Amino acid sequence: TYIVTDNCIKCKYMDCVEVCPVDCFYEGENMLVIHPDECIDCGVCEPECPAEAIKPDTEPGLESWLKLNTEYAAQWPNITTKKDAPADAKEFDGVEGKLEKYFS
Ligand code: SF4
Ligand code: F3S
């Protein structure tokens, strides 16, 4: 599966939503997550994310992000159409500690 990681937080560009063939993105206030059981591993969303926040869960060190995607995909609503990214999305690209400060 692919998963969404920290740099999505407060960037939330949502370009990923447009390309997913199985609509497996779920929306929180400041980030999206992927439902790991619904993702068919096609990989098309990964290069579409301007924040480079989408990664295959085979990359080392992403266990906590897999857990977070699994947990919140079960709670948040499905999103199938792209909305406008936050006006200040660029300012948050690459900011450290977003999970602690801005996760929602
Ligand atoms: Fe959707 Fe494919 Fe990305 Fe999985 S890898 S979230 S199926 S676009
Ligand atoms: Fe987030 Fe990237 Fe999608 S910033 S909303 S994973 S395009």
Decide whether any atom of ligand 2 lies within 6 Å of the 68 Cβ.
no
Locate the ligand 2 atom nearest the alpha carbon of residue 14 and give its number.
5
Closest CA to 89 of 80, 79, 102: 102
Which are the contacts of 56, defined by CB distance < 8 A and separation ≥ 6? 1, 2, 3, 41, 43, 46
Decide whether any atom of ligand 2 lies within 6 Å of the 51 Cβ.
yes
Ligand nearest to the CA of 19: 1
Q: What is the pTM of this model?
A: 0.97
ipTM of this predicted complex?
A: 0.98
Decide whether any atom of ligand 1 lies within 6 Å of the 36 Cβ.
no
Q: Which residues of the chain have pLDDT under 50?
A: none
Ligand 2 centroid to 10 CA: how many Å? 9
Locate the ligand 2 atom nearest the alpha carbon of residue 85 and give its number.
5
- 65-85 pLDDT, tens per residue? 999 999 999 999 999 999 999
Residue 98 φ/ψ, nearest 5 degrees:
-70, -30
